[in-house]
Amino acid sequence: MKNINILSLLFLLIYTASFSQEKLSKNDAINLALENNYSIKIAKNKVKIAVNNASIYNSGYLPKIAVNAGAAYNNATTEFTSQAGVESELNNAESKLYNASLGLNYTLFDGFGRSYNYKKLKETHNLSGLEAETIIENSILQIFSIYYQVAQLTENNLNILESLNISKQRFERAKYSFDYGQSTKLQLLNAEVDVNNDSIKYINTQRLLANAKRDLNLLLGRTVTINFTVDTAVEFNLTFNYKSLLEKAKSYNIEMQKVSKNIELSNFDIKINKANLYPSLSLNSSYGFNKSDNDATFTFAEQLSKGINAGISLNWNLFDGGSTKTRVQNAKIVADNLQVQKDQVENELERTIANALEIYNNALFILTAEEKNVETNKRNFSRTEEQFKLGQITTIEFRQAQINLLNAQSNLNQAKYDAKNAELKLLQLTGELLNIEF
């Protein structure tokens, strides 16, 4: 009896403490994930790298300007021998040399390779954005899967707690009846065993709930020990048609967009390689300054030169052994493979949407059936409870009705969140997951 009272106090404290916990809504979870989730942070940084790569500074359109400067000191002894055999010597000839130049180099024309490469960088940036969206979508699905797991365990926990309270009331009734000689010791022991079993089930569910909350906190990028409650309300406002789903998926599905973007990039690769077949024209210009200071052993005490140099150079590789032709042919084959891959992705998408839609419709049917099943079990338990109080049925029959109701409630929770996850999967396939309000 003492153990039962301690358990009751413990469960009451746990249940009361839940009201003071942070209420984490679905929108709050998404906003926290977009800000703090580790995978999403890395994906966003990769997009920043792609933005830098697509900058005008990485395009080849800007000229190259370089400054060079230097200084040198010479001190040399030189011996001379004339054709007549006369020898002479110049000792410790000292000179100081200074130079500086400013040079400019600019490619005027390179067969449009620079232009296509710049466009490719822009499309690569767009592709990195799609890659980031993929990671965000997958992260959101994962977050909602665990969010609904927390919600499911929360509702299961409450149902188990309610069942536990019923078992404790039965135990109190059995103990009272036994004390007054109206029931056997066996009935009292059976009631106590049921209380213990429900207590163990409650504690195990509490453990699973705490683990799920820590998993969700980790995905949200915050301290894993933060306690919170979640919104257990789930709405199904969407109806889906296979044809409209497929049309949306072909236009907005991220995987479809990624393979289309890769085809665009491969077409740029073909053009970039073809650019090697054209001549290149470059402009070179520089301004230079050279000065030397000489001692008395030199004819000139000082020499100074400065001026501008400019020129245009043309380079045309008329034949490179066929390497450019090979690269162009291979790039075309890659483009063909990507088109085949697109057809494959589109075909697989049709299959995946059909399967996902069937799973969703089945989940809604199961949800409706489980809702009816819970109502039936509630009526059955209520009637059984009345008969039990009147002594018309055994404790075994009463316990079975109690278990049936608890199982039906658990199955309903499972069906509810399975249906919601199936709905989210359809939204992901059609590219709408990031555009809806939760």
Write the pLDDT tens digit of every residue in 61-88: 999 999 999 998 888 777 767 777 777 7
Write the pLDDT tens digit of every residue in 279-330: 999 999 999 988 887 776 666 778 888 889 999 999 998 888 899 999 999 9
Name the pTM for this structure.
Answer: 0.84
Write the pLDDT tens digit of every residue in 269-282: 999 999 999 999 99
Provide the pLDDT for residue 391: 85
DSSP 291-315: EEEE-TTSS-SEEEEEEEEEEEEEE
Q: CA-CA distance, 277 to 316, in Å (whole number)?
A: 8
| Of 22-36, 288-302, 347-361, 422-436, minimum mean pLDDT range | 288-302
Provide the pLDDT for residue 6: 46
Q: CA-CA distance, 383 to 401, in Å (whole number)?
A: 10
Q: Is the pLDDT of residue 244 over 50?
A: yes
CATH H-level superfamily of 2-62+111-278+320-435: Outer membrane efflux proteins (OEP) (1.20.1600.10)
Q: CA-CA distance, 216 to 150, in Å (whole number)?
A: 8
Regarding beta strands 87-109 and 64-81, do their DSSP bridges make them parallel or antiparallel, or are they unpaired? antiparallel
What is the average pLDDT across 419-437? 91
φ and ψ at residue 432, rounded to 5 degrees: -105, 0
Provide the pLDDT for residue 27: 93
Residue 251: pLDDT band (50, 70, 90) is very high
Q: Which amino acid is present at 429?
A: L
Provide the pLDDT for residue 76: 74
Token code pair at residue 357:
């839609």
| Of 124-128, 291-295, 406-410, minimum mean pLDDT range | 291-295
Q: Which residues pair with 229 in a beta bridge?
A: 23
Q: Is the pLDDT of residue 1 over 50?
A: no
Write the pLDDT tens digit of every residue in 2-58: 454 545 555 554 544 444 578 999 999 999 999 999 999 999 999 999 999 999 999
Average pLDDT, rounded, for the chain: 90
Q: CA-CA distance, 4 to 198, in Å (whole number)?
A: 12
Where exactly are the structural domains of the chain?
2-62+111-278+320-435
Provide the pLDDT for residue 8: 52
Provide the pLDDT for residue 297: 67
